[in-house]
Chain A
Amino acid sequence: MDFLIAIGQYILFLKSVFFKLEKKRIYYSRIIDEINILGMSSIGFVAFISVFVGAVVTLQVAYNMENPLLPTYLIGLSSRDSLILEFSPTMISLVLAGKIGSHIASSIGTMRVTEQIDAMDVMGINSASYLVLPKVVATILINPFLIILSIALGLVGGWLAGDLTGICPTEDYLLGIQYQFIPFNLAYAIIKTIIFAFIITTVCAFFGYTTKGGALEVGQASTQGVVYTSILIIICNYLITNLMLG
């Protein structure tokens, strides 16, 4: 029963985020700020993870391709497809759920328990829309770029690992990552990323916005937000894959 109530509250929350908007010009500057806070500040983190994930994927693929009849360029090809189809969009989104999701839930939760959201409400401002809509738009705009960056750096990481360990020469790796490239796979990755960005911001914001109590409850809201976001990402990942590739 509580679960159904929570879903109902989430839908009403989304309604107040996307309807009854404030003046449009207010959102523009807020979106730029949020792109900076949520997106740009994640570049280093995403880049670091992507290079190492790319390297590990390449090493694992090579480890599983000991048959001398298989051409070496397949290491590059497999790494590319793994990164585009799964590792970058899903794994980086899960990582971002932890990083930006907890930031969103805790910052909004703190605003709730310190009455800052009440202060906005009594000024006649739609606090849900003012606080959450710019975050949703910002992540939907910036996360696809982060994922493309992640794919690119993952491929660089794979190349470095292959070349430095000698398991896949540069020429073979470059041939592999270009071989039979399907542009639709990239579209699939971006569509997934956009849906995951929406889930990360709205679910975590919902948990923050509905926080009651004090510092302890803010922490709990942040944890719950990240847990539910991760579960939803995994479920949606399956559904989207089934719809688009199944």
Chain B
Amino acid sequence: MIEIKNISKSFGEKKVLNNLTAKFDKGQINLIIGKSGSGKTMSIKCMLGLQNVDKGSIFFDGIDFTKIKEKERRNIRREIGVVFQGSALFDSMTIEDNVMFPLKMTSGMFSKDMRKRVDFCLERVDLHNVSKLYPSELSGGMQKRVAIARAIALNPKYLFCDEPNSGLDPTTSKVIDNLLKEITYEYNITTVINTHDMNSVLEIGDNIIFIQDGSKKWSGGRDDFLKSNNSELNEFIFSSATFSKLKSIM
């Protein structure tokens, strides 16, 4: 479980996160939703330690990530898998090497076992015969699946995904959503996904946190999502034509 308590982050005068508090449960898909610039990506970057918080605490299974030494931080990071918005695959490496990279760097496994693990992870995300290709030779959806394979290579306890559906068509988005859902339940991972894709919210969101101007405005389950009385959340949801029509039907 991951818990963030009153985290704040500013860049000069601009407050990006403002006393944000949230809890992300194990074995569930936790979604952070909000408009562009609401602080979704920054909250994930703070949880990953890529940005230091100005104040507040971030707990990974009870360990305060903001207070521990760099060495301990690195140990926690090795239990984290991340799928970045642009996939962040290493251009100079083949797909096989990309997935093998975290194993090679941190696991101490024999190369035969690493190869087996790479094959398993690529199979798991439904990618076949691509191991010798380079990222530039794959489509956006396939790159995302490789990024997921790389993220699960080390059997992570926590999985973070920053806008996993951005730039993908609806069919591929659904494939990615289902994959993340299956992986989360199968391996009992604490998954935190940051998205503004409403289909994903309704398809896979177990716990949903809506943030605006860097603070939490609403949280709840997928079933309460469309029934909420929160005006800011409703404004966000029903700003799209599809959901506006849905509201009129409801």
A residues sitting closer than 8 Å to B (CB atoms) are 20, 22-23, 26, 110-111, 114-116, 118-119, 121-125, 130
Contact = CB atoms under 8 A, between A and B. Distances in A.
B105 A22 contact: yes
A115 B84 contact: yes
B102 interface: yes
Interface residues of B, number: 25
Contacts of A114: 86, 88, 91
B106 A123 contact: yes
B88 A116 contact: yes
B105 A122 contact: no
A110 B88 CA distance: 11
Contacts, number: 53
B106 A121 contact: no
Given A124-B75, A124-B77, A124-B78, A119 B88 contact: yes
Contact of B106 (A115, A118, A125): A125
Contact of B86 (A115, A122, A125): A115
A118 B80 CA distance: 13
Given A22-B105, A26-B104, A121 B50 contact: yes
Contact of B85 (A115, A116, A123): A115
User: Top 9 A-B pairs ranked by shortest CB distance?
Assistant: A124-B74, A124-B77, A115-B88, A119-B88, A124-B78, A115-B84, A123-B102, A122-B82, A122-B48
B238 interface: no
Interface in B86-134: 86, 88-91, 101-102, 104-106
A228 B70 CA distance: 31
Contact of B50 (A20, A26, A118): A118
A23 B104 CA distance: 10
Nearest to A116: B88
A123 B90 contact: no
A123 B101 CA distance: 9
A123 B77 contact: yes
25 contacts: A20-B70, A22-B105, A26-B104, A26-B105, A110-B91, A114-B88, A114-B91, A115-B86, A115-B88, A118-B50, A118-B84, A119-B82, A119-B84, A121-B50, A121-B77, A122-B82, A123-B78, A123-B102, A123-B106, A123-B154, A124-B73, A124-B74, A124-B75, A124-B106, A130-B105
A115 B90 CA distance: 10
Nearest to A117: B88
A60 to B, nearest CB: 43
Contacts of B70: 20
Nearest to B162: A115
A58 B166 CA distance: 62
B90 A116 contact: yes
B72 to A, nearest CB: 10
A122 B48 CA distance: 7
Nearest to B102: A123
A25 to B, nearest CB: 10
